[in-house]
Amino acid sequence: MKKILIPLIILATFTIQIPSIAKESTTTPWEVKINKNKKEQEKTFILNPFWEEYNDELLNGYIQEALENNFDIKIAKSRVKQSEAILGTVNAQRLPQLSVNPSIYPFKTISRWTGKYGSGNHLYFPLLLNWELDIFGKLSDKVKSSKYSTKISNEDLNIVKLSVASEITASYFNIILTDALIKNYSELVQNADETIKLKRQLYDGGIISYDSLYTVEYEKVTYQKELNSLLKQKEVLLHQFAILRGISPQGNKEIERVQAESLNFPFSVDENISSDLIFQRPDVLQAELGIKKAALDVRVAKKMFLPTINLNEMVGFESIEASRIFNWESTVYQLGAGLLLDLYTGGYKISYLKYNKEVAIEKLHQYNNVLLNAFCEAENALSSLRADYNSYTDFKDTLDKSEHFHRVTNIRYTHGTGNKIDELDARRKVLINENAMYSAKISALCDTVDIYKSLGSSIK
């Protein structure tokens, strides 16, 4: 018992002073403090299935497929398991370490009486126990820091899930838009061909000038060029859509989707949305966790200046004869404690403390930067939605008027008071206005996706 108390008495005679790094800096001192008494309830991110608000079962199925098969999500899940495994290794340091160390030491002696040589083997079979006593909370702080690392990895996973769900939704809408535009541009090319044939007959008869014919021919070239670009864009979108769902783009050229007319807005443009929702974002929560982890790392670095106390125990057998190694007479037992205090490390601990303080300051700046970007993304998405939705309603009104005009020209042509060229021109205007209306509608829908993403998957 006296042997155990001796290191503790020695420890009580030491006064450990931790140098203050903040005083050496020319800037304003910055101190990381952790309130041990008051524990705030940590916020957790829950991915809200915002895609269900669009009332499209096909879209819901694609997102569920992506959440299960997307490789970025699988990589993020693997990193979570890695951080959990590292937490296990750190937590294991708080437990006693048990080992066995059998050994043999050959020896040779000479008798002082007879002068003859003798030899033998000194046999050891000890069971060793080493336990670092966490009196100053060094190991517990390391465990807490590692737990924050695991939580940060979980938020990484949430960030990837939210990003993938948003990309799938936006890609799905853009594929639908491409379908509608390809259909209309194909009709525009056919319409221009038919108009060119009629105008060429009039030009050959000397009824119209070449300018009128050339204008339609140029429009056809423009329509065809846009159609080719859309066909290329459709292939790219389908390939990206397949990769987001974790499948090969080969053999997945067609997917089921609804028509552009059946797409609905998930909420009203006049919806009252609170900016406080950005604090639900996983990257904001991750930045908060980064500050807390950095604060703990500073405390761990400070406690490195304190001594380490170990409890050592050895139980085993010791004998010079193999036949007697496991006899009770050969049993040995030792129990003791030791104190280790580094007197000089070349400035390593001071530099390590400086490093962790700077990391903590960096995490604080990073948190502010994340908040500013979050506000900016939310404001940009809301502004874009208002502008695109207004464009959508304007183009929708224009489309209604052009459709009415097309019906009038069709009636005139049917009753012989109009001509086919005017009816074709009116139809082209309908298709062009419809393309503009579809583009504005899909842009507004993608803006709603950006709003959900910028506010952490929920607007309530």
The CA distance from 448 to 163, in Å, is 14
Write down the pLDDT at residue 36.
Answer: 46
Which regions of the chain are under pLDDT 70?
A: 1-42, 107-108, 110-120, 122, 251-253, 320-326, 328-329
Write down the pLDDT at residue 20.
Answer: 34
- Encode pLDDT of 308-362 as tens digits: 998 888 887 777 666 666 676 677 777 888 888 989 889 999 999 999 999 999 9
φ/ψ (deg, to 5) at 338: -135, 150
The CA distance from 292 to 40, in Å, is 12
The CA distance from 393 to 146, in Å, is 53
Closest by CA position to 305, among listed 9, 4, 21: 21
Write down the pLDDT at residue 321.
Answer: 65
The CA distance from 51 to 65, in Å, is 13
In CATH terms, the superfamily for domain 2-19+43-454 is: Outer membrane efflux proteins (OEP) (1.20.1600.10)
Write down the pLDDT at residue 437.
Answer: 97
Write down the pLDDT at residue 23.
Answer: 35
Write down the pLDDT at residue 334.
Answer: 79
Write down the pLDDT at residue 270.
Answer: 86
Q: Which two tokens stand for residue 128?
A: 């060793």
Write down the pLDDT at residue 408.
Answer: 95
- Encode pLDDT of 194-244 as tens digits: 999 999 988 888 888 888 889 999 999 999 999 999 999 999 999 999 999
Helix (H) / strand (E) containing 11? helix 2-12
- Sign for the pseudo-dihedral over CA of 243, 245, 247, 250: negative
Q: CA separation (Å) from 12 to 6, 16, 298?
A: 10, 10, 25
